[in-house]
């Protein structure tokens, strides 16, 4: 019986992703070079997220490869971003609730990003409107934000 408990405690917990439907949507850039261009955003909670830098980056790449193939299909959007947060007692509130910015107990998901954010995946359309660039930004063990470019735009030929 003790051996069973020991073996089960050594098993790695499965990483799961929870889509926050009330924190996902689309909009239009209102300034800058992409003013008027459409963007799409999604927020995800990650349960049993890994803690090492390499493991986090691997998880984010795997998530992108398995879940973001539809970004290239959405031809009318310039940018698609996924924000990933550690699932815990504080962030789990947003599974069923939208942001509540007023009152005594203000709850805004973005306020948890510096402490509970894991990273983000951004996919942007290239200038030729056919290709996409992808970047992963993630927090390392010291909570420094690191960037990894998965693929970049080629120079557009004119």
Write out pLDDT tens, residues 88-97: 999 999 999 9
Query: Which H or E run contains 115?
Result: helix 113-116
Q: What is the pLDDT of residues 6-63, one digit of tens each?
A: 444 456 689 999 999 999 999 999 998 889 999 999 999 999 999 888 999 999 999 9
116: left (phi over 0), alpha (psi -120 to 50) or beta: alpha
Tally Cβ neighbours within 10 Å of residue 87.
21
3-state secondary structure of 71: helix
Q: Distance of CA 96 to CAs 6, 19, 25, 91, 125, Å?
A: 35, 10, 16, 10, 32
Average pLDDT over residues 114-120: 93
Under the banding of pLDDT at 50, 70 and 90, the label for residue 158 is: very low
Q: What is the pLDDT of residues 132-151, one digit of tens each?
A: 888 999 987 767 778 888 87
Question: Which tokens in the block code for residue 27?
Answer: 């909009």
Tell whether the model's pLDDT for residue 100 goes beyond 80: yes
**Distance from the first to the final alpha carbon of the chain:** 71
Q: What is the pTM of this model?
A: 0.83
Q: Note whether 126 and 72 are within 8 A (CB).
A: no
């Amino acid at each position: 019986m003790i051996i069973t408990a020991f073996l089960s405690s050594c098993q790695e917990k499965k990483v799961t992703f929870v889509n926050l439907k009330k924190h996902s949507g689309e909009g239009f850039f209102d300034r800058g070079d992409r003013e008027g261009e459409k963007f799409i955003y999604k927020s995800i909670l990650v349960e049993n997220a890994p803690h090492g830098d390499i493991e986090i980056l691997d998880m984010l790449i795997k998530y992108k490869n398995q879940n973001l193939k539809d970004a290239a299909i959405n031809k009318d959007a310039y940018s698609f971003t996924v924000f990933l947060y550690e699932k815990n007692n504080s962030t789990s509130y947003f599974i069923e609730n939208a942001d509540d910015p007023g009152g005594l107990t203000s709850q805004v998901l973005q306020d948890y990003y510096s402490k509970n954010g894991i990273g983000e995946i951004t996919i942007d359309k290239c200038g030729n409107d056919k290709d996409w660039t992808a970047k992963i930004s993630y927090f390392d063990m010291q909570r420094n934000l690191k960037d990894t470019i998965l693929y970049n735009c080629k120079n557009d030929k004119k």
